[in-house]
Amino acid sequence: MSGNPSTMPCRITRPGVALASSRAVGPDGVLRVAGTANDSITDGPGIRFTIFTQGCPHDCPGCHNPQTHAVDAGTIETVDALWERVVANPLLSGITLSGGEPMLQPIPLARLARRARARGLSVWCYTGYRFERLLAGEPSAEVLDLLGDVDVLVDGPFVQRLKSLSLTWCGSSNQRLIDVPASLGSSTVTLWNA
Amino acid sequence: MDSTIRTHTAVTTIIKRDGRSVAFDESKIAEAVCKAFEASGAMKGYEEAERIADRVVELIETGALEGRPSVEGVQDLVEEVLIADGFARTAKAYILYRAERSRSREVNTRLMQTMRDLTFSKAADADLKRENANIDADTAMGTMLKYGSESAKQFYEMCVLAPEYSRAHQGGDIHIHDLDFYTLTTTCTQIDLLKLFEGGFSTGHGVLREPNSIASYSALACIAIQSNQNDQHGGQSVVNFDYSMAQGVRKSYARLYVRNLATALELLGDVDDATAVARHAAADVLEGTGLVPTLDPDGAYRVAERDALLATVVDGGIVGHAQAFAEKAAWRDADRETYQAMEAFIHNLNTMHSRAGAQTPFSSINYGMDTTPEARMVVRNILLATESGLGHGETPIFPIQIFRVKEGVNFNPGEPNYDLFKLACRCSAKRLFPNFSFQDAPFNLQYYKGTPETEIAYMGCRTRVIGNVYDPSREISNGRGNLSFTSINLPRLAIKARGDVDLFFELLDSMLRLTVGQLDERFEIQCRKKVYNAPFLMGQGVWIDSEQLAPDDEQREVLKQGTLSVGFIGLAETLKALTGAHHGESEASQNLGLEIIGYMRRYLDQLSEERKLNYTLLATPAEGLSGRFVRMDRECYGSIEGVTDRDYYTNSFHVPVYYPISAFDKIRIEAPYHALTNAGHISYVELDGDPTKNLDAFEAIVRYMERSGIGYGSINHPVDRDPVCGYNGIIDDVCPQCGRREDEDGGGFERIRRITGYLVGTLDRFNDAKRAEERDRVKHGVGAGDIVAEKPVAAGATV
């Protein structure tokens, strides 16, 4: 990883107000990440390149990755550098945007997602927000832009009492696997069908 | 008394080498010195010897030795006094005498100490008892096997091996594998069951007739493996499991068809003596057309049988109906019988004992290419039985299963056995087996002529025998195997070369010469064995051409069909020592790595050509060896970063398990070595996460291995089981199904891991080095919860 997180010019949309004002500012070509997984087999079907974004406002009790919550931690990666690693891996079925809360950094992630789809890779995205909430009121243009290049959205916060190991691709039973193109095309939420 | 003040203390006792304390006797010193005087011709007598002894005692009493005097300490003083008094030659004679005495003493004490360790220590405490993870050395027969094996090793080291080979082995330059069997056996065979079963065979106490059902086929397959294991020390593999078991299904089906036809005739047509009618019809068809009922829907048989039935009492209206019922019911019954036969096969191979009664046989089976419906029934059912596991759902450790992957047969959608390939992936994702062998890798494909004999076969752990300079007309695997193999400690050569690559190759050259010499020495011993020394392997014609020999004949000629293999360990550490970076870290190191392994291969190829004998290069499975070499090298050369600073040397040409690398890079880097190691190879990818929930990912890796020119590969992933609730999957500290902790009642969780190609049910039986290696393995595919650290900058990469 390159760069020093404390001096790199990258800001993250302030949590809480993210979706109301949705000003994901900072250079469009960089994002703050907690880490990556080159050969993930647990973040969607096939082998996937998973990006764990840094920064999350939800603070779900029992979160697997509490170290990703702070918005000013992690390291800065450029979209180009991440993309190079995606291209280098011939085993990939797709990429997965995880975190952290990806919706805090929609602009660079949308760029990455668009390139992935153009290459025939599927894009999965995890978010602690409900799908309806992301679209409610006057939705953020950047978030909509990102959703336009997501195939499957795993939505909703992690709820510890609904946790189950028998679930595939999500942690608690309130979370849904949403077929984003189908859902955006109609007015109802369509679940993803493997 | 103040212990820092030296005072005159009378010497009353002395500590012997074995730790016992005995009365001190000054005259023994004088006697030994006297003998040394005689040996050196110093013309001095007992009086002078007594004077020397007095002087030694005086030194002891004034505190020349710390603590209570020991025999070794006293002898050191004797040498000092002799030298001080000018008896240089006598001192030398005394030293030689001491050395001679300690060598003969060592012969006894080393062996006795070994026996003591085996008898009184638990396997958990003694690495010696965990050298081979497949043996439970805590059992009576396991200990008996170790007594035999350890004494045999020491006997061979001292009395059989030429001193230079013995020294090289003991000193850790090379490792002679299965040394305990040095004068007894060869390593392994690819057993051809079709050939063995034809006309029946004998296990020594009576003849077993040619089997007539899939149940007997599978039972006799176990017996063949078990019997042959008593004649060899290495793995026993079935070269043609699908082709041979399919014969059993054919026989079962024909019988079940007739039985079901009789049932139908009796029910539908109220035919008296329906069994006889059905049998006669089948016999008539066989006589008239040569056809038998088969799983293949065969119109010709149906028509001929219909005519035969109509010729008897049967009412024409029911014949078609009865035949249709018989076909359907016979398929169902044959399928069930095959499943049970496969289940029994697996159960037997995990329970029956062989090899001095202390081990299950090292069994492997190759399958996947036979596209007949009978063979497909066999393969589907062995996979299903493996998937469901043993009695309580445990993962079967044996047999090692090897699925042969080939384009046009089973690799792509639409190909006849593609469904079996998918099932094999599903099964392996849960049970770690089958492994995958790739028929289309160029170095395997070159031998393939479209016949079953020319398909590549692997021994489960990785061994491969197919090329044949001795008998080029038979480049096949059937009935052949490895005779013996010896591995070279590559990292030591690199350490000695101190970065000088030319010097490294010189050292490698002479080590290759020495290793080949040792293989030749062992081969000569093996050649002199008679057929009666291997009553099953040679007596029953399992080994190629052995059926042409008489019981008193030497094995020599037919053994030339086998291979003599040179192995190697620690290419990664070798490269690290030579260049500062291993082949996962640097392209230049990868190039050098390929040159080194390519050099070894060329050396052996040339030798093979000259002598018309099969010398081959093996990517050594490192059990028992991974810790031994590095321990010795660390003692000798100290802890060298990336070379001797871990508890193990890396397996053969593998990228080190501790090094974080993407799966595709690992495959890409290791694949070219598969082409070079013609005696066998395997690459692993470690997966973190449960691949049964993501079969696409599992298959993607297998497909990439195929595309990259891997010859034999396998995917490792954690397989844990809670013996209390039976949960099978990944278990950390707490069972996710029942919430039980490992330290609670009910015992620890079972953790199946792969070690040198074999699965081991518990980490307890891993030796120390292998435990350390397992701990360090970097897994690929990390869960949503775990964030992997970025690849660290390679330490020392710029050195």
Asked whether residue B573 falls in the same domain as residue B650, the answer is: yes
What average pLDDT does the segment B15-35 reach? 85
pLDDT at B729: 80
Q: Examine the pLDDT at B105 and tell me if it is beyond 90.
A: no
Of A42, A46, A67, the CB nearest to B783: A42
Residues A81-129: pLDDT tens digits?
Answer: 999 999 999 999 999 999 899 999 999 999 999 999 999 999 999 999 9
pLDDT-derived band of residue B92, with 50, 70 and 90 as boundaries?
confident
B393 CB-side CA count, 13 A: 13
Asked whether residue B684 falls in the same domain as residue B565, the answer is: yes
Residues B39-60: pLDDT tens digits?
Answer: 888 788 889 999 999 999 999 8
A114 CB-side CA count, 13 A: 12
Mean pLDDT of chain B: 88
Helix (H, G, I), strand (E, B) or coil at B237: strand
pLDDT at B106: 67
- Asked if the Cβ–Cβ distance from B664 to A43 is below 8 Å, we say no
Domain count, chain B: 4
Residues A68-84: pLDDT tens digits?
Answer: 999 999 999 999 999 99
pLDDT at A74: 93
Residues A25-73: pLDDT tens digits?
Answer: 456 799 999 999 999 999 999 999 999 999 999 999 988 889 999 999 9
What average pLDDT does the segment B613-638 reach? 88
Task: Tell me which of A21 and B723 has the higher pLDDT.
Answer: B723
pLDDT-derived band of residue B747, with 50, 70 and 90 as boundaries?
confident
pLDDT-derived band of residue B3, with 50, 70 and 90 as boundaries?
very low
Asked whether residue B726 falls in the same domain as residue B686, the answer is: no
What average pLDDT does the segment A159-184 reach? 92
Asked whether residue B712 falls in the same domain as residue B724, the answer is: no
Residues in chain A closer than 8 A to B696 (CB atoms) = 45-47, 93
Closest residue on chain B to A126 (Cα): B784
B615 CB-side CA count, 13 A: 24
Instruction: Please check whether residue B263 lies inside any domain of the structure.
Output: no
Helix (H, G, I), strand (E, B) or coil at B784: coil
Closest residue on chain B to A89 (Cα): B664
* Spatial contact of B539 and B550, defined as CB atoms under 8 Å apart: no
Helix (H, G, I), strand (E, B) or coil at B364: strand
Closest residue on chain B to A33 (Cα): B787
What average pLDDT does the segment B425-429 reach? 97
Closest residue on chain A to B692 (Cα): A41
CA B228-B231-B237 angle, to 5 degrees, is 35
Which H/E stretch holds residue B700?
A: helix B695-708
Residues B204-252: pLDDT tens digits?
Answer: 777 888 999 999 999 999 999 999 999 999 999 999 999 999 999 999 9
- What is the spatial distance between Cα B420 and Cα B445, in angstroms, rounded to a whole number? 21
pLDDT-derived band of residue B722, with 50, 70 and 90 as boundaries?
confident
* Shortest alpha-carbon distance between residue A137 and chain B (Å): 31
pLDDT at B624: 60
Q: Examine the pLDDT at A19 and tell me if it is beyond 50.
A: no
All residues at 6 or more sequence positions from B120 whose CB lies less than 8 Å from its CB, including other chains: none
- What is the spatial distance between Cα A149 and Cα B205, in angstroms, rounded to a whole number? 73
Q: Examine the pLDDT at B527 and tell me if it is beyond 90.
A: yes
Which H/E stretch holds residue B435?
A: strand B435-438
* Shortest alpha-carbon distance between residue A57 and chain B (Å): 17
B180 vs B208, B537, B563, B615, B769, CA distance in Å? 32, 19, 19, 22, 21
Asked if A91 reaches chain B (Cβ–Cβ under 8 Å), the answer is yes
Residues in chain A closer than 8 A to B689 (CB atoms) = 40-42
Of A37, A38, A93, the CB nearest to B700: A93
pLDDT at A164: 84
Q: How far apart are the first and last CA of chain A?
A: 35
pLDDT at B45: 85
Neighbours of B23 (CB within 10 A): 8
Asked whether residue B724 falls in the same domain as residue B694, the answer is: no
Residues in chain B closer than 8 A to A60 (CB atoms) = none
Asked whether residue B643 falls in the same domain as residue B566, the answer is: yes
Task: Tell me which of B131 and B561 has the higher pLDDT.
Answer: B561
CA B305-B308-B314 angle, to 5 degrees, is 105
Beta strands B614-619; A47-53: pairing state: unpaired
Domains of chain A, with CATH numbers? 31-185 (3.20.20.70)
All residues at 6 or more sequence positions from A96 whose CB lies less than 8 Å from its CB, including other chains: A40, A43, A44, A48, A49, A50, A51, A123, A124, A125, A126
Cα dihedral B762→B766→B769→B774 (10° resolution): -30
Asked whether residue B574 falls in the same domain as residue B666, the answer is: yes
CB contacts < 8 A (A, B): 92
pLDDT at B786: 32
Task: Tell me which of B569 and A137 has the higher pLDDT.
Answer: B569
pLDDT at B481: 97
Among the candidates B716, B746, B762, a domain finishes at: B716
pLDDT-derived band of residue B695, with 50, 70 and 90 as boundaries?
very high
pLDDT at B354: 72
Asked whether residue B630 falls in the same domain as residue B762, the answer is: no
Instruction: Please check whether residue B297 lies inside any domain of the structure.
Output: no
Closest residue on chain A to B697 (Cα): A46
- Could you give the percent of chain B with pLDDT greater than 90? 61
Nearest to B722 by CA among B711, B712, B733: B733
pLDDT at B117: 83
Nearest to B779 by CA among B695, B663, B668: B663
Task: Tell me which of B126 and B84 has the higher pLDDT.
Answer: B84
Q: What is the DSSP letter of B158?
A: I
Asked whether residue B693 falls in the same domain as residue B740, the answer is: no
DSSP structure string for chain A: --S-TTTS----PPTTTHHHH----S-TTEEEEEEEEEEESSSSSSEEEEEEES--S---TT-S-GGG--TT-SEEEEHHHHHHHHHH-TTEEEEEEESS-GGGSHHHHHHHHHHHHHTT-EEEEE-SS-HHHHHSSS--HHHHHHHTT-SEEEES---GGGB-TTSSS-SBTT-EEEEHHHHHHSSS--B---
- Asked if the Cβ–Cβ distance from A40 to B664 is below 8 Å, we say no
**CB proximity under 8 Å: A 147-186 to B:** 165, 168, 171
Neighbours of B297 (CB within 10 A): 10
pLDDT at A4: 38
Asked if A122 reaches chain B (Cβ–Cβ under 8 Å), the answer is no
- What is the spatial distance between Cα A85 and Cα A48, in angstroms, rounded to a whole number? 12
- Asked if the Cβ–Cβ distance from A42 to B782 is below 8 Å, we say yes
* Spatial contact of B618 and B485, defined as CB atoms under 8 Å apart: yes
Residues in chain A closer than 8 A to B782 (CB atoms) = 37, 39-40, 42, 50
pLDDT at B523: 97
- Asked if the Cβ–Cβ distance from A89 to B662 is below 8 Å, we say yes
B575 CB-side CA count, 13 A: 28
Task: Tell me which of B125 and B372 has the higher pLDDT.
Answer: B372
Residue B744 structural domain: 719-776
- Residue type at B212 in one-letter notation: N
* Spatial contact of A31 and A11, defined as CB atoms under 8 Å apart: no
Question: Burial code of B93-125, b = ≥16 C-beta within 10 A, e = fewer?
Answer: bbeeebeeeeeeeeeeeebeebeebbeeeebee
Residues B638-650: pLDDT tens digits?
Answer: 999 999 999 899 9
Residues B433-466: pLDDT tens digits?
Answer: 999 999 999 999 999 999 999 999 999 889 999 9
Task: Tell me which of B161 and B139 has the higher pLDDT.
Answer: B161
Asked whether residue B121 falls in the same domain as residue B90, the answer is: no
Asked whether residue B698 falls in the same domain as residue B726, the answer is: no
* Spatial contact of B189 and B543, defined as CB atoms under 8 Å apart: yes
pTM listed for this prediction: 0.83
Among the candidates B694, B716, B738, a domain finishes at: B716
* Spatial contact of B403 and B434, defined as CB atoms under 8 Å apart: yes
Q: Examine the pLDDT at B771 and tell me if it is beyond 90.
A: no
* Shortest alpha-carbon distance between residue A23 and chain B (Å): 27
- Residue type at B177 in one-letter notation: H
Closest residue on chain A to B688 (Cα): A41
Q: Examine the pLDDT at A1 and tell me if it is beyond 60.
A: no
pLDDT at B5: 44
pLDDT at A6: 34
Asked whether residue B525 falls in the same domain as residue B405, the answer is: yes
Q: What is the DSSP letter of B650?
A: P
- What is the spatial distance between Cα B305 and Cα B284, in angstroms, rounded to a whole number? 8
Among the candidates B716, B741, B756, a domain finishes at: B716
Select from A2, A33, A42 the residue whose CB has the most chain B CBs within 10 Å, as the one to mutate to test that interface: A42
Residues in chain B closer than 8 A to A88 (CB atoms) = 662
- Asked if the Cβ–Cβ distance from B781 to A34 is below 8 Å, we say no
What average pLDDT does the segment B413-439 reach? 97
- Asked if the Cβ–Cβ distance from A35 to B687 is below 8 Å, we say no
pLDDT-derived band of residue B157, with 50, 70 and 90 as boundaries?
confident
Q: What is the DSSP letter of B649?
A: P
Residues B302-317: pLDDT tens digits?
Answer: 999 999 998 886 778 8
* Shortest alpha-carbon distance between residue B238 and chain A (Å): 33
- What is the spatial distance between Cα B693 and Cα A21, in angstroms, rounded to a whole number? 39
Task: Tell me which of B506 and B130 has the higher pLDDT.
Answer: B506
Phi, psi of B158, deg, nearest 5: -90, -30
Of B690, B693, B787, the CB nearest to A35: B787
Residue B590: both structure tokens together: 């990868």
* Shortest alpha-carbon distance between residue A31 and chain B (Å): 16
pLDDT at B306: 92
What average pLDDT does the segment B284-293 reach? 94
Which domain CATH number covers B529? Answer: 3.20.70.20
Q: Examine the pLDDT at B128 and tell me if it is beyond 70.
A: no
- Could you give the percent of chain B with pLDDT greater than 70? 90
CA B263-B268-B270 angle, to 5 degrees, is 85
- Using a CB–CB cut-off of 8 Å, the residues of B that contact A are 662-664, 687-691, 693-694, 696-698, 700-701, 704, 736, 780-790
pLDDT at B782: 33
What average pLDDT does the segment B85-98 reach? 84
- Asked if the Cβ–Cβ distance from A45 to B694 is below 8 Å, we say yes
Task: Tell me which of B199 and B332 has the higher pLDDT.
Answer: B332
Residues B650-676: pLDDT tens digits?
Answer: 999 999 989 989 999 999 999 999 999
B551 vs A9, B69, B573, CA distance in Å? 85, 62, 48
